[in-house]
Amino acid sequence: MDMTRRPRRLRRDGVRGLVSETTLNASDLIAPVFVDATTEERVPIESMPGHERVPVSEAVARVEEVLATGVEAVIVFGVPESKDERGSRAWAEDGVVQAAVRRITAETDAYVITDVCLCEYTEHGHCGVLAEGARAGEGLTVKNDETLDLLARTARSHVAAGADMVAPSSMADGQVGAIREALDEAGHENVPVMAYAVKYESAFYGPFRDAADGAPSFGDRRHYQMDPGNRREAMRMAERDAAEGADVLMVKPALPYLDVVADVRREFDHPVAAYNVSGEYAMLRAAGEKGWLDATESAYESVLSIKRAGADLILTYFAEDIASSLS
């Protein structure tokens, strides 16, 4: 038997790490942070053990906890003190994200990204201005073009508060172009946009909607988020956002869509982000609590697979756990 090829030669201690094709670093990771204007103390998120909503007064302390693990970037989500039909607290100068970002950027060295959407701020929980007949299930749910100005105003207010990058997630057609134009007109041409370019309608978002209090009060989001069965459409979505000026292209969720992450990586030379979403976190954390697997090791392997598929930036609720294990 010809045994010229023996791959196990390169699996021995000492050389295994030298030939590793993919490695994770804390600098690859972005940690989500939830800031809640309705509370004066930290509130555990029951469906996401280990995570909390924090009041604005605790935002800096929460980010400092992230930085202590070696993670350098956070993405901030807000829960406002009140909601209305159009989500006007999303772009308020004294809004929850704006207030938190001012404090975080003034008192820490974190790279601060903000999520730009309206679902946490509208009383109906949808990601834009409701269309006529939406509550009755007639036609499309959200008025796309009327929503664009509100998203642009929100992004502009985040950057005015000090955000280093904005990340529009509403899946409105033209959202990247509208935000890029608004930022440029306000003198923020050097602030990058990370587009949720490929965002599927997914059952894996459940725990996040608890965390951000952003579940729709009726219906679902199938009229503006993508069909989970569509792979070719993902390339059209990424191409559209790239043409409108997106600096980073995101795929969300990550693990069920690694084929799409790989496709985006292959077809575009932009940095690629992937969101290891709340449901992916919750199922591993729950299995770990049951003793069925090691949550930290399985999280590392999962996030490593996302990077191997082609992601340069990974948003994950395991960011602190993984970064701590790397140090």
How far is residue 272's CA from residue 278's CA, in Å, rounded to a whole number? 19
- Look-up of token digits 């207010």: 157
Asked whether residue 156 is marked as a ligand-binding residue, the answer is no
**317 labelled ligand-binding:** yes
255-261: long-range contacts (C-beta < 8 A, 24 or more apart)? Answer: 255/280, 255/302, 255/305, 255/306, 256/200, 256/202, 256/204, 256/228, 257/198, 257/200, 258/305, 258/306, 258/309, 259/231, 259/309, 260/198, 260/231, 260/234, 261/306, 261/309, 261/310, 261/311
Residue 9 assigned as binding residue: no
53 in a known ligand binding site:
no
Q: Which residues are catalytic?
A: 199, 252
209 is in an annotated binding site: yes
Q: Is 117 annotated as a binding residue?
A: yes
Q: How far apart are CA 235 and CA 243, in angstroms?
A: 12
Say if CB 56 and CB 33 are below 8 A apart: no
232 annotated ligand-binding residue: no
CB-side neighbour CA atoms (13 Å) of 207: 24
Q: What residues are designated binding site for 5-aminolevulinate? A: 209, 221, 278, 317
Q: What residues are designated binding site for Zn(2+)? A: 117, 119, 127
Q: What residues are designated binding site? A: 117, 119, 127, 209, 221, 278, 317
